[in-house]
């Protein structure tokens, strides 16, 4: 599965997130029919994964989480003991606290 940065195609969403939340960075990614919104705020990282057509498969969840948590986010910026996950069939939210915040 390829995870492609498509942030430029979602300027309105990015603008609204930056305007209405504490986010400092908003990026949008596509993995086929699965969309991923990554946000970084002063106290945490958020990864929202959604698929409007079908349930998110366990292998997709694992690969997307690994892409961000293991590769994309600076490891000193992750409080691994307090990562929280909210999961429904078509939507996953991963909240990753920043240590010391």
**What DSSP designation does 13 have?**
H
Range of the structural domain that residue 20 is part of:
4-97
Q: Please tell me the distance from the alpha carbon of residue 27 to that of residue 8, in angstroms, as a whole number.
A: 9
pLDDT recorded at residue 67: 92
Report the pLDDT value the prediction gives residue 63, as an integer from 0 to 100: 93
At 23-77, the pLDDT tens digits run 999 999 999 899 999 999 999 999 999 999 999 999 999 999 899 988 888 888 8
Closest CA relative to residue 6, chosen from 21, 23, 26, 28 = 28
**CATH number of the structural domain spanning residue 19:** 3.40.1720.10
Could you give the number of structural domains in the chain? 1
Task: Over range 3-17, report the average pLDDT.
Answer: 95
Contact status, residue 50 vs residue 32, Cβ threshold 8 Å: no
Beta strands in 1-101 (DSSP E): 4-5, 25-31, 34-40, 44-50, 84-88, 91-97
């Amino acid at each position: 599965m390829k995870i492609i940065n498509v942030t430029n195609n979602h300027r309105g969403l990015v603008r609204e997130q930056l305007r209405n939340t504490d986010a400092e960075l908003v990026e949008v990614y596509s993995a086929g029919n699965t969309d991923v919104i990554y946000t970084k705020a002063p106290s945490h990282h958020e990864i929202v994964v959604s698929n409007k057509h079908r349930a998110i498969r366990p292998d997709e969840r694992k690969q997307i989480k690994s892409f961000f948590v293991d590769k994309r986010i600076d490891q000193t910026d992750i409080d691994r003991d307090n990562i929280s996950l909210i999961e429904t069939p078509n939507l996953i939210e991963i909240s990753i606290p920043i240590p010391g915040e």
